[in-house]
Structure 1
Amino acid sequence: MLRRPLPLAIVVFLLAEALFLLRLPVPHQLVFDEVHYVPAARALIALSGPTNIEHPLLAKWLIALGMRLFGDTPFGWRVMATLAGSATVAAVFGIVWQITARARSSLVAAALTLLGFTVYIQARIAMLDGFMLGFLTGAIFMVGWALRRGGWARWTGAAILLGLAVACKWLAAPYVAFAAIAFVILKREDPRRFPGLTIVPAVALLGLVSIATYFVTFAPAFFYSNDPLTLARLIPFQLDMYHRQTQVLPAHTYQSNWWTWPLLIRPIWYLYEPADGAQRGILLIGNPVIMWPGLVAVAACWWGWVKSGSARLFAAAALWTGSLGIWALIPKSLGFYYYYYPSSVFLVIAIVLALDYWRCRFWDIALLAVATALAIYFFPVLSAQALPDPNAFQHWTWFTTWV
């Protein structure tokens, strides 16, 4: 049983951070959606006026913070994203520890998160999703901590982190509702859970604190030199963001439907062009040996819950299912594989809990071994290594839809 997880969690964080920082400035040019968010961060640094207003501000001003600290350079653009990625890996470690109290299961979860490809790539690019998931996984950990130990401070911390996640990207908003629903169900099922907390005040606190935290992150916009935000315009501005989020967009080469994401039908080439004197590529794809078997693990968690009523199996299965299912309801005209990013991480939790419940001894080691082998195989197109020629992509594109 793991009784002192914090030192081990810090080691996990530092190891992940060292991996993400390695060759971070390569390529020395804007990659994929960095063309939107780096200019928006520059505008925040200058407080020149609203830019990229279809998204909230927090992730962009975190990118801007990195640029203020380390300069308007590729390292400066991406360094804060590495911290968000490392926080995500450490939070997954913590979440699994909250559930199993086992060092082995927690370390396997952290390792699979690192080997799943998606965290590695999103931790090395100045996009919004990595920041959102860093706060979101932290919030899930805090909810689990409050479930076991109670206390208004832990529950308030979870609410603040959820508000910060939404302030990075609206995709996190449904998780506020998920947290409230989970609290009510679990508390009614066993009043000993969330000790010291009661249903109505806790749910009210969750909503009020997360909403207040979200709105506080708009503070920089009140100081724009051009078209500054005002209190009177704060709510109408949210409606404008909604209209921009739901507008019908033209077709895109890498668009895909939500139900295709778990099957790895249409990954995205974030980069494939000459850069820094060589042909380079960055392919956003999940590790097949984690993504495909992970679907079996989700089914096993659902089946185990039906048989045993295990709350932990239900939580793991529902977390992944809900994270994907919201895309069936969100009114977006286009979908992309990177929207699957949270689900690709939650899948790891389902895998580890399924292996733990079904007592599949040594399967975790086998899975880690094969996942590591595939990580080495794909590494050149995960990390923008120099490739031999423009046709090198054929080595990693197993299917025509991966091109």
Structure 2
Amino acid sequence: MNLDTKTNQNRSTLGIIIVCSIAIGLRFWGLERFNLLVFDEVYYAVFGNNYLTRTPFFNSHPPLSQYLIAIGIWIGDRLPFGQENLNAFTGSVHSTFSYRWMNAVFGSSVAPLVAALAYQLSQRKSYAFLAALFVSLDGLFLVESRYALNSIFLVCFGLLGQLLVLIAVRRDRHCRALLFGAGISLGAAIACKWNGLSFLVGIYIFIAIAKLLISRRSSTRAEDPHDSLLERLAKIHPFDIVFSLTIVPIITYSLLWIPHLIQNPDLNFIDVHQTMLNYHEKIGNGTGIHPYCASWYTWPLLMRPLAYYFTEYKPNYYYDVHAMGNPLLWWLSLAAIFGAIWSIGNQIGRNAQRSTIEKNVLAPIRDLNLNYLGVPLFIAINYAVNLLPWVGITRCLFIYHYLGGVLFAIVGLAWFVDNWLRSNSKFWQAAGLTTIFSVAATFVFWLPVYLGLSIEKTDLSYRLWNFWIFNWI
């Protein structure tokens, strides 16, 4: 199936626009429903209001996401719409729309950011379309975009930072202004939650491996427009790594604390970080701490999602909002991660067999096809750095901590499906199309518990499983 013709590229562009438009609609539809504070809105919406009222408080996370919620509240209160449902649960009277719409804006940006990232990785518009489609068909991203929570801000800034790095190196001459912007964005990701650092670490490792691979090659030719992404990354000047991707994120992170520290002068910059760390270290684990605690190894299989809101509003009819992914999408995406790792190992293994005569352990690395390797390597690295740091954490964790990891798993699945559709094999083309329509069907099936639609008890039981390794109730 030829996906590189101009007509198909235009169709992919149109598809991205349609997907992003639908994603926006789902994130803003009924945003004002549930006139109360849902789950951790009891913290983040309240904190956002505290910044507006200059009320001192302790925040267990860096402050940027709450600044943004505060900005959303300030603007939202002055809009001529979205004022139907008012409450004072934040400490002041606001509409539910006012403290949620900023999350919807950032959540709506995930699909175009993922599309742009996929395109920069591969220069394929079809891959960009599939990546945007799949991330728009995920329930956890949808739910996190509809309430005043902080993880969606982290993901957006992290994605933007990585995207700007890739755009910068794709240019004939690396654009330092873009790398500077990447540093600001990656610093902002950390200023939302500390685990935003994973996006920066992913870029570090990707660049380091690119430099290692290129150093094994004898060619010292000048930059060529047809260089692979890895070859371009390897040519990033050390100054840009130290300044734009290290010093700038640190400065950005530090500066973003200033408004919080001015409002809460009891703790200085160092003390507030020590207090935050002590707070997280003292949080226990297990159902006694919270009924929806879920260890890191349960996330990829979607064993324990999280109920954000549940109420029986009339006999046998419920409103239920579950922070859970699209089951089929998550399971296939996990398989894609193993596929990406296998692809990398398989290429190294084949090169090792061909190069045994040289008796050079670096020959398998030197002869790698860099055009083929870039995407699976990027996916595997970023999945690992977003998941593995949670392995040693003993405090209660929740499935939304997997948001960064599953993002790259979904991008990995899109890569394989795009390759299947490009195959000359009717079997693989059929597999790709079947995957797309099956993932869309499961998204529609679970949509009532993503949007909190009215649902009858029996229909709800079909969607909330409680058997074998699954406990979704």
Q: Which amino acid in 1 is paired with 2:61?
A: H
Cα distance in structure 2, aligned partners of 1:198 and 1:386: 56
Q: Which residue of 2 aligns with 1:139?
A: 161
The one-character-per-residue Cα deviations of 1:17-37 (angstroms, maximum 9, x if unpaired) are: 222111111222111111111
Quickly say closer, same or farther: Cα 1:346–1:81, change in 2 above 3 A: same
Cα 1:55/1:253, change in 2 over 3 Å:
same
- Distance in 1 between residues matched to 2:279 and 2:430, nearest whole Å: 49
Q: Secondary structure at the match of 1:283?
A: strand
Match of 1:383 in 2: 451
Aligned partner (choices 253, 265, 268) of residue 228 of structure 1? 265
Contact map agreement 2:188 2:252 (CA 8 A) in 1: yes
Compute the displacement of 1:362 (Å).
Answer: 4.3
Task: Spell out the pairing of 1:230-245 with structure 2 (5 A cutoff).
Answer: 233-245=268-280
Q: Name the SS for the 1:161 alignment partner.
A: helix
In 1, are the aligned partners of 2:198 and 2:385 still within 8 Å (CA)?
A: no
1:248 maps onto 2:311 in alignment: no
* Alpha-carbon RMSD: 2.5
Question: C-alpha displacement at 1:341, in angstroms?
Answer: 1.2
Q: Which amino acid aligns with 1:228?
A: P
Correspondent of 1:57 among 63, 66, 91? 63
* Corresponding residue of 1:170: 194
Letter of the aligned partner of 2:303 in structure 1? I
Structure 1 unmatched ranges of 5 or more = none
C-alpha distance after superposition, 1:240-263 (max 9, x if no partner): 211112223352100011001101
Mapped to 1, the partners of 2:183 and 2:394 lie a distance apart of 26
Change (3 A) 1:311 1:105: closer
Partner residue, 1:76: 98
Q: Deviations over 1:284-343 (max 9, x none)?
A: 1111111111121111111111223413211112221221111113x3411111111112
Q: How far 1:81 moved relative to its partner? A: 0.6
- What's the offset of the Cα at 1:6? 8.7
Measured after TM superposition, the shift of residue 200 of structure 1 is: 4.6
Instruction: Name the % identity.
Output: 24
1:3-402 paired onto structure 2 within 5 Å: 13-51=20-58, 53-71=59-77, 72-149=94-171, 150-190=174-214, 192-194=231-233, 197-224=236-263, 227-228=264-265, 233-249=268-284, 251-274=289-312, 279-308=318-347, 309=368, 310-329=373-392, 331-357=393-419, 359=423, 360-389=428-457, 393-400=460-467, 401-402=471-472
- Alpha-carbon distance in structure 2 between the residues aligned to 1:376 and 1:356: 22
Aligned residues: 396
Q: Distance in 1 between matches of 2:439 and 2:449?
A: 16
CA 1:9–1:47: 2 relative to 1, 3 Å = farther
Taking a change above 3 Å as real, the CA distance of residues 337 and 195 of structure 1, as seen in their structure-2 partners, is: closer
Verify the 8 A CA contact 1:78 1:126 in the aligned structure 2: yes
In 1, Cα distance between equivalents of 2:413 and 2:139:
16
CA distance in 2, matches of 1:18, 1:357: 30
State whether residues 283 and 395 of structure 2, in contact with CA within 8 Å, keep that contact through their aligned partners in structure 1: yes
CA 1:7–1:141 in structure 2 vs 1: closer, same or farther (change >3 Å)?
farther
AA partner of residue 155 (structure 1): L
Provide the C-alpha distance between the structure 2 equivalents of 1:212 and 1:48, rounded to a whole number of angstroms: 26
Query: What amino acid is the match of 1:344?
Result: V
Larger-Rg structure: 2
Question: For structure 1, which segment, 80-89 or 355-364, has the greater mean C-alpha deviation from structure 2 after superposition?
Answer: 355-364
Describe the SS at the equivalent of 1:382: helix
The aligned counterpart of 2:228 is none
Residues 315 and 196 of structure 1: CA distance in aligned 2, closer, same or farther (over 3 Å): closer
Deviations 1:52-72 (A, max 9, x none): x21111101111111111122
Code of the residue aligned with 2:379 in structure 1: it is A
Partners of 1:275 and 1:158 in 2: how far apart? 47
- Structure 1 stretch displaced more, 161-170 or 64-73: 64-73
Query: How far apart in 2 are the matches of 1:110 and 1:202?
Result: 29
TM-score computed with the length of structure 2 as normaliser:
0.78
Listed one character per residue, the Cα deviations across residues 56-114 of structure 1 (whole Å, up to 9, x for unaligned) are 11101111111111122111111111111112111110111112222222111111101
- 2:302 and 2:97 map into 1 onto residues whose CA distance is 30
Q: Secondary structure at the match of 2:309?
A: strand
TM-score, with normalisation over the residues of structure 1?
0.91
Decide whether aligned partners of structure 1 residues 62 and 10 sit closer, same or farther in structure 2, where only a CA change above 3 A counts: farther
Q: For residues 312 and 109 of structure 1, what CA distance do their matches in structure 2 show?
A: 12
Cα distance between partner residues in 2 of 1:156 and 1:24: 35
Q: What is the identity, as a one-letter code, of the residue corresponding to 1:47?
A: R
Q: Distance in 2 between matches of 1:18 and 1:386?
A: 19
Shift of the alpha carbon at 1:395?
2.4
Judged with a 3 Å threshold, the aligned counterparts in structure 2 of structure 1 residues 195 and 296 are, in CA distance, closer, same or farther, namely closer
Partner of 2:218: none
CA contact (8 A) 1:20 1:82 kept: yes
- The answer to which of 357-366 and 17-26 deviates more is 357-366
The alpha-carbon deviation at position 398 of structure 1 amounts to: 2.5
Segments of 5+ residues of structure 2 without an aligned counterpart are 78-93, 216-230, 348-367
SS at match of 1:158: helix
